[in-house]
Amino acid sequence: MIGFLLKINELARISQNEGEILPTLNLSYDHLPSHLKHCFAYCRLYPKDHKIDVRTLVQFWIAQGFVKQSNPSQSLEEIGLGYFKDLVERSFFQEVEDDETWFTTCKMHDLMHDLAEVVAGTESSLVDSNSSASEVSEKCRHVSISPLLIPLLKGKKLRTLLCFPKESEQSQIMSEDETWDLIISRCRCLRVLKLNNLNLNTIPRSIHKLKHLRYLDLSDDPNLKILPKSICNMQNLHALKLDWCVGLEELPKKIEKLVNISHIGCVHCYGLTHMPRGIGKLTSLEILSRFVVDKDGSHGGADLSELSGLINLKGELTISNLGFVKKAKKMFRAANLKEKQHLGALVLEWGDGNNDDEKLLEDLQPHPNLKMLKVDGWRGDAKFPSWLSLLKKLVDITIWGPSNFKHLSSIAQLPCLQQLKISNLTELECMEDHGPNGRQGDTESFFPSLKVLRLWNCPNMKSWWRTTKPIDDDSNEDDTTVIRASTMAFPCLSSLDIKYCPLTSMPLYPSLNEKLKLVNTSSRPLKKTIKMSISSTTPSTSTSSLPLSKLKSFHAENIEGLDTHMLNDCLQNMTSLE
């Protein structure tokens, strides 16, 4: 029975007698390769119905040595994600969610969780507030435990200690000194330590005594401000997670001593003032979620050139305080973003102090593989960089003002773009610097994949195109520009949100099927949309249907020209509102 698979949806057809189910499920486990058996059994540590973060799970596997690198061209994380995919295909996981790059979260069916408990045996244990730490065998290597029970834990041979605190336990957790003393004195063999959301506040210098530690999670601690320098002596450390430590002010100096580290997670660490010098020597880094420019140089922090050699970066990178960079043209190019081919998302935050037009976006060109781009607060040149049209794989673009952008050309033909979100561009006059007959007027290449469009607070944006007059009911119907504009439509848009944008002319949206929200804008595009025929503008629609007939949510507030008669016409079409 090599390759035997048991699909989750077949479980319902099996007798609910556990004595019959588990032997059946065990067949699928027995035929797993040995490395996948270890990986699956490790999942016993998660509580039932827990939403599992896939990349974190893979990091756990890597830290325990379950992931073997047979191909030097593949990173351990890539290999580990391959393991996860194999288990998904064998239906060991369910409710798998993903983004545009890879899996993000999943769950285990309760029956599969029972199987994991059986096959893990005494090597793994999940101890909650309803059980006792005394239930943990001396042979146990991996424990998931309520933080309230840590004092009762005897774990000289423990390799994993995971804490999943419940909200009701937060106020009862012991002091940070007690927690650390117990862990460091009793659990010297740990490879994985997850203590997020425990509000431990301080980390003792003695943490370096956990010399085998490979994965350390201290995230969700708003009061943690500094890390001890001794962390840099933990040379086996592969992953350091500090996400949502909003009070964290700096990473430790001498961080370059962490020669094996591949993951430094500091998502939403808004208190960081700079990056430590030497961080650019960590050439094995695959995740560096935030790089903070030292505003005035007073902290002696790393400059952007230290990003140059970090060519293996993946996932999302946020670079903040770009408005304070000195010798911007040189430093922007020195960051070498163009060579970071594995980077999936890039967030460029400018902050204050960026009134210098020489700080050009043109010099921050990313690699064409980029899938998400966010530009926040750039006030430089009024033109968007020419490299935008080269990012053919972009799925998501977000632009936040204030900014001097007058128009945003080169976006309409991006073949994979699904989300476009624009906010607070007070100088924006139009999206396209030409009329609908211009180079991007071809309906086949006009936003071919766009699903979500959000336009907020663009008070000078009256038309989508740079035309000399608005497209309204009084326009000359023989004017070819007017005719072209009145029939242009988004081919697959599902959600549209416009607030405080006086748009009188824009591509129409008859096929919206999720949300239409209009606040302080013109009614003219809506009126044109209601009057049009879907079949005449969207060739993929097999049969003609009423515009907006599939729309589920509609909100209109303070819309210029929207009278009762027109509103009734709209609502008659919107037969699918929920």
pLDDT digit string, tens, across residues 295-331:
888 888 999 999 999 999 999 999 999 989 988 889 9
Give the count of domains, the chain: 2
Radius of gyration (Cα) for the chain, nearest Å? 28
Q: Residue 53 is which amino acid?
A: D
Q: Please tell me the predicted confidence (pLDDT) of residue 401.
A: 85
DSSP-based three-state secondary structure for 518: strand
Percent helix, strand, coil in the chain, to 5, is 30, 15, 55
Of the residues 217, 245, 272, the one at which a domain ends: 272
> How far, in Å, are 297, 338, 380, 485 from residue 357 at the CA level?
21, 21, 5, 34
What percentage of the chain has pLDDT greater than the value 70?
A: 82
Q: Is residue 153 part of a domain?
A: yes
Q: Is residue 433 part of a domain?
A: no
Same domain, 177 and 85: no
Same domain, 151 and 243: yes
Least confident of 93-102, 237-246, 277-286, 430-439: 430-439
Tens-digit pLDDT profile for residues 535-551: 444 444 443 478 999 99
Same domain, 238 and 160: yes
In this prediction, residues 559-578 reach a mean pLDDT of 89
Same domain, 138 and 266: yes
Q: Which residues of 525-536 are buried (b: 16+ CB within 10 A; e: fewer)?
A: bbbbbbebebee
In this prediction, residues 148-164 reach a mean pLDDT of 82
Q: Please tell me the predicted confidence (pLDDT) of residue 12.
A: 47
Task: Give the Cβ contact number of residue 259 at 10 Å.
Answer: 12
Q: Which residues of 302-327 are buried (b: 16+ CB within 10 A; e: fewer)?
A: bbbebbeebebbbbbbbbbbbbbbee
Q: Give the model's confidence band at 481: pLDDT under 50 very low, under 70 low, under 90 confident, else very high.
A: very low
Where residue 52 sits, what CATH number does that domain have?
1.10.10.10
> pTM score, two decimals?
0.88
> Around 296, how many Cα atoms within 13 Å sit in the side-chain half-sphere?
1
Q: Please tell me the predicted confidence (pLDDT) of residue 435.
A: 63
Same domain, 140 and 261: yes
Same domain, 111 and 188: no
Q: Is residue 113 part of a domain?
A: yes
Residue 9, pLDDT above cutoff 60: no
> How far, in Å, are 36, 146, 341 from residue 164 at the CA level?
24, 6, 35
CB 180 within 8 Å of CB 207: yes
Q: Is residue 322 part of a domain?
A: no
Least confident of 128-142, 218-232, 388-402: 128-142
Same domain, 150 and 252: yes
Same domain, 159 and 199: yes
201 dihedral zone (left: phi>0; alpha: psi -120 to 50; beta) = left
Long-range contacts of range 523-528, CB-CB < 8 Å, 24 or more positions apart? Answer: 523/559, 523/560, 523/561, 523/562, 523/566, 524/470, 524/471, 524/472, 524/473, 524/561, 526/559, 526/562, 526/566, 526/570, 527/473, 527/561, 527/566, 528/471, 528/486
Same domain, 69 and 190: no
Of the residues 272, 294, 321, the one at which a domain ends: 272
Q: Angle, nearest 10°, between helix axes 524-531 and 564-573?
A: 50
Where residue 140 sits, what CATH number does that domain have?
3.80.10.10
Same domain, 165 and 40: no
In this prediction, residues 275-292 reach a mean pLDDT of 96
Q: Is residue 515 part of a domain?
A: no
Of the residues 272, 298, 323, the one at which a domain ends: 272
Residue 399 is inside which H or E element, if any?
A: strand 396-400
Q: Please tell me the predicted confidence (pLDDT) of residue 185.
A: 85
Q: Please tell me the predicted confidence (pLDDT) of residue 320.
A: 95
Q: Is residue 503 part of a domain?
A: no
Q: Is residue 68 part of a domain?
A: yes
Q: Which domain holds residue 230?
A: 131-272
Same domain, 80 and 143: no
Q: Is residue 502 part of a domain?
A: no
In this prediction, residues 71-95 reach a mean pLDDT of 90
Same domain, 67 and 136: no
